[in-house]
Amino acid sequence: MKHRYLPMTEQDQAEMLAVAGAETIEDLFVDIPAEIRYSGVMPMSERLGEQALLKHMRGLANKNADFDRYASFLGAGIYDHHIPVVINHVISRSEFYTAYTPYQPEISQGELQAIFEFQSYICELTGMKVANASMYDGATALAEAAALASGATKRKKIVVSRAVHPEAREILLTSAHGLGLEVVEAGCKNGVTDTEALAELIDDATAAVLLQSPNFFGCIEDVRAIEGLVHAKKALLALSVNPLSLGKLESPGELGADIVVGDAQPLGIPASLGGPTCGFFAVAEGLMRRIPGRIVGQTVDQEGKRGFVLTLQAREQHIRREKATSNICSNQALLALCASVYMSTLGKAGMQEAALLNLRKSHYAAQIAAASAGKLSLEFSSPFFNEFVVKLPAGSDIASINEKLLAAGFIGGYDLGIAYPELEGRMLIAVTEQRTKEEIEAFFSELEAIV
């Protein structure tokens, strides 16, 4: 049997052709000159039956180096974290996996409540007053933070740390071009933002300073010191964070951040070959009406029962285009639900424990790297969360090294020379709670043997 169902019968086809005034399907293309039409058979495989197709697709999928068969030490924005099995159970319910933005609250209370809980969790985690219903991902959320800051301050200069994820900085530049914003980069020293260089770049034209902490190198920024520099010039401080790290680190709200963004992928969202993920966006109360996207609010109905509605939608499709805070933002309702279920499942103590495991295991791994008899060394001495930079011997080909690590059952670290020419020969290594003591030791033993 070739099909589970017949998408179109011959009678359906004949009736549609009759309505279109054609006798054959070829008649539909008569307006295209014959000399430019493709003739013959396309160079592609023949159609497959269901069993053969499933076997073929499984064969392709098995070529991927997945986390079930390989121990991953690759982070750089997407991480191998524990995903409680209850998450898939909840998001597989049809009322969630088919849902989009709930424009009809009377029939969408479940989805609205799920988004409301996500907002509440993000506010509690970040220490901010207001969070939106989620965004595409952490990188676009950072670009939206720059746009918000420019609109709020009526300024056009954005200062971004070079320690921010390179892909996020690329998206920022693309967005800034359309908005007419000037973007300048502050350099790094010992794996963190160079505070002295940053201070020289902040002036009366600066709308915002964009930081990431833990940053792309895994290092923790001195946000409190930088906050004073930023607010002295009446600019806004936008901070991109790893939400899992907030199980142990001081919240951005307590550190004086005005805008907090990040990617919720560490909170129960699969790596999925790099995406999709889910961005979060939280602000101080004074910036609430400038927040991009949507906000779900809690209310009561005519009978006094608890209910949920969309209370703020500052998108161009809901308000006048010139008043819109963003023209591209959308929410990731299903993936935001993943994050909500993750945080609900772990609770406060579980989030703290997960953060602590990431901290301890990565530092144990860094100790092994530092004690490798000169073959490996740590590039930076700044405090870090669950990623750190290892310097390999001169002339090391990281692409080749990672191929050999893969053959040994390990997904190696990120080649920093790709985005940072000055860090050629350095590998960014991530160690999450998923890695066992035996895996960590075996990985560095194999890495030392290769180099």
What is this structure's pTM? 0.88
Q: Reduced to 3 states, what is the DSSP secondary structure of residue 123? A: helix
Pairing type for strands 188-189 and 71-72 reads unpaired
What is the residue range of 366's domain? 71-83+347-450
Specify the DSSP element, H or E, that contains 240.
strand 236-241
Pair 34, 100 in one domain = no
Pair 190, 250 in one domain = yes
Q: Look at residue 110 and tell me if it is in a domain.
A: yes
The 10 Å Cβ neighbour count of residue 372 is 15
Which residue in 410, 408, 409, 414 sits closest to 389, CA to CA?
414
Among residues 342, 365, 392, which one ends one of the domains? 342
Q: Look at residue 66 and tell me if it is in a domain.
A: no
Among residues 324, 342, 360, which one ends one of the domains? 342
d(CA 352, CA 244): 8
Report whether 220 contacts 213 (CB < 8 A). yes
d(CA 6, CA 15): 16
- Give the CATH number of the domain where residue 401 resides: 3.90.1150.10
> pLDDT digit of tens for each residue in the chain (451 aa)?
455 566 788 899 999 999 999 999 989 999 999 899 888 888 988 888 889 999 999 999 999 889 999 999 999 999 999 999 999 999 998 888 877 767 777 778 888 999 999 999 999 999 999 999 999 999 999 999 999 999 999 999 999 999 999 999 999 999 999 999 999 999 999 999 999 999 999 999 999 999 999 999 999 999 999 999 999 999 999 999 999 999 999 999 999 999 999 999 999 999 998 889 999 999 999 999 899 888 999 999 889 999 998 887 755 555 556 666 666 667 889 999 999 999 999 999 999 999 999 999 999 999 999 998 788 999 999 999 999 999 999 999 999 999 999 999 999 999 999 999 999 999 999 999 999 999 999 999 999 999 8
Among residues 342, 366, 395, which one ends one of the domains? 342
Pair 311, 379 in one domain = no
d(CA 156, CA 436): 48
Classify each residue of 291-329 as buried b or exposed e, where b means 16 or more C-beta atoms within 10 Å of its C-beta. bbbbbbeeeeeeeeeebbbbebbbbeeeeeeeebbbebb
Query: How long, in residues, is the chain?
Result: 451
Q: Look at residue 3 and tell me if it is in a domain.
A: no
